[in-house]
Amino acid sequence: MTTMHERMPPDGTSQQSDSQPPLPGAASARSLRLGTRASALARWQAEWVAAELARLGVQVELIHVSTQGDVSARPLGAIGGQGLFTKELQNALLDGVIDLAVHSLKDLPTERVPGLCLGAVPERESIRDVLICRDRDSFEALPAGACIGTGSVRRGAQLLYARPDLEIRDIRGNVDTRLRKLDEGQYDAIVLAEAGLKRLGLTDRITQLLPLELMLSAAGQGALGIEVRDGDAFTIQALAPLDHPLTHAAVRAERALLAALHTGCLAPVGVWARAADGRLELDAVVLSPDGRRRVAVSRTGAWEEATALGERAAAELLAQGAAPLIAASRQTV
């Protein structure tokens, strides 16, 4: 499995939009068409990118694109797995309907789509998962047999590893829909990404920030990926000031690990890479869907060799027996 071609500036310095001059004649020469899903979170992400580009003098038109993941209420694994929130946007890019697409990077498959590349990865938001309870104040306070809603095998497996007494039940819908289902009593608690709640102004709903020792995040969680047509020099140049090299390196390592494990965003794999003392540190886990088996690895490497770091960590996980755990997750669909 090959990873998506991802560009990163040759130096390791962060580039800030405020310090960049407008592209010469950008506003008058070309208006970029930005594809977005219709959910509130997707719109927030697209509007943030559009506003950043507008500050650089680039006009942006938002184009709404409906994806399979948006229109189906069935469990994600049952309706095709990877790419449910990205394929239609990628097709629109390839067809020339849009010039760029904003993805939650954790939803973007690692397999390269010929003709497309990541033009920029902005600085990352929180990578953490959070617990939202109906009437308890912590994960530890949930009673035996408590029902937790999540559409993620990764989250469910890690919760069961910590507490096999829990009932993990699938939940679908946007953030507002999931919160409503919790409030209606369909679940005792739900797990969501902190980044999405922060972007939507809903942090007051958070009961507990789950510790990373309990809940390691998905590859690319909290990061945005801005996808463009390979060779579209104008759009790639326009996006360059939005790219955050250290975030880009971290998610490159995480996505390389997923690709080397021959799995995708729906698998029970948690991974977190980050810059520390001029290097990249990476932690990763693979679990069985029932949480009974778990393998883990921690590795450090040069951030310029992010892909190799992810691949080395994946090789160690496979040596510890990760492959049958991943295979078991496919059989549960």
* Number of domains making up the chain: 3
Residue 140 has pLDDT above 90, yes or no: yes
| pTM to 2 decimal places | 0.85
Supply the CATH number for residue 141's domain.
3.40.190.10
User: For the residues of 20-61, what is the DSSP string, one character each?
Assistant: SPPPTTHHHH--EEEEE-SSHHHHHHHHHHHHHHHHTT--EE
In terms of domains, do 169 and 110 share one? no
Q: What is the mean pLDDT of residues 106-124?
A: 94
Instruction: Report residue 12: phi and psi, to 5°.
Output: -100, 20
Q: What is the mean pLDDT of residues 26-54?
A: 86
In a domain, 5, yes or no: no
In terms of domains, do 228 and 287 share one? no
Average pLDDT, the chain: 87
Joined together, the tokens standing for residue 131 give 């617990």
Q: CA-CA distances (angstroms) from residue 119 to 65, 74, 99, 261?
A: 19, 32, 11, 25
In terms of domains, do 196 and 229 share one? no
- Residue 14 has a pLDDT of 34
- Catalytic residue chosen out of the listed positions 11, 70, 95, 107: 107
In terms of domains, do 231 and 282 share one? no
Instruction: Report residue 25: phi and psi, to 5°.
Output: 65, 15
What's the rounded Cα separation, in Å, for the pair 230 and 219? 23
In terms of domains, do 77 and 147 share one? no
Residue 27 has pLDDT above 70, yes or no: no
In terms of domains, do 36 and 182 share one? no
Coil, helix or strand for 74? coil
Of 258, 225, 232, 283, the closest CA to residue 86 belongs to 225
> What is the DSSP secondary structure assignment for residue 267, as one 8-state letter?
S
**Lowest mean pLDDT across 24-33, 35-44, 277-286, 305-314:** 24-33
- Residue 126 has a pLDDT of 97
In a domain, 262, yes or no: no
Coil, helix or strand for 318? helix
- Residue 3 has a pLDDT of 34
Check: CB of residue 257 under 8 Å from CB of residue 201.
no
Band of the pLDDT at 264, cuts 50, 70, 90? confident
> How far is C-alpha 74 from the chain's CA centre?
20
Residue 313 has pLDDT above 70, yes or no: yes
In terms of domains, do 203 and 288 share one? no
Check: CB of residue 152 under 8 Å from CB of residue 159.
no
Q: Catalytic: 107?
A: yes
Band of the pLDDT at 2, cuts 50, 70, 90? very low
How many other CB atoms sit within 10 Å of the CB of residue 211? 12
In a domain, 307, yes or no: yes
In a domain, 58, yes or no: yes
In terms of domains, do 114 and 186 share one? no
In terms of domains, do 111 and 159 share one? no
Q: What is the pLDDT of residues 181-197, one digit of tens each?
A: 999 999 999 999 999 99
In terms of domains, do 111 and 31 share one? yes
- Residue 86 has a pLDDT of 85
Check: CB of residue 271 under 8 Å from CB of residue 277.
no
How many other CB atoms sit within 10 Å of the CB of residue 312? 19
- Containing 226, the helix (H) or strand (E) segment is strand 224-229
Domain range enclosing 44 = 17-122+223-243
User: For the residues of 142-204, what is the DSSP string, one character each?
Assistant: SPTT-EEE-S-HHHHHHHHHH-TTSEEE---S-HHHHHHHHHTTS-SEEEEEHHHHHHTT-GG
In a domain, 280, yes or no: yes
What's the rounded Cα separation, in Å, for the pair 299 and 274? 11
Band of the pLDDT at 332, cuts 50, 70, 90? low
In terms of domains, do 102 and 237 share one? yes
- Residue 37 has a pLDDT of 86
In terms of domains, do 151 and 280 share one? no
- Residue 302 has a pLDDT of 95
Q: What is the pLDDT of residues 205-251, one digit of tens each?
A: 999 999 999 999 999 999 999 999 999 999 999 999 999 999 999 99
